[in-house]
Amino acid sequence: MKLADCAALCNVGINTLSRIENGNDNCTLAALIAVLHGLGIKLTSPLLSPESLKKQVDSSNSNNKWV
């Protein structure tokens, strides 16, 4: 796939897609999400799963002591 075709598919500019492709850290999260969505890639994180969030909340509640 050509860069221009991919950029059009993802609704981002060619320069933006090129920066992402080359690992440039100067791009927005919105651009990254647009590229992932355009390519049909689902972004998941075990850190944000309902189970892990519940564990974090339970853990923080047991450690919080008001003084």
Rounded Cα distance between 44 and 42, Å, is 6
Rounded Cα distance between 54 and 60, Å, is 10
Q: Is the pTM of this model over 0.85?
A: no
pLDDT, tens only, 8-55: 999 999 999 999 999 988 889 899 999 999 999 988 776 666 777 677
> Domains (ranges, CATH) in the chain?
3-63 (1.10.260)
Instruction: Kindly state the tokens that stand for 8.
Output: 């059009």
Give 15-26 as a DSSP string.
HHHHHHHTT-S-
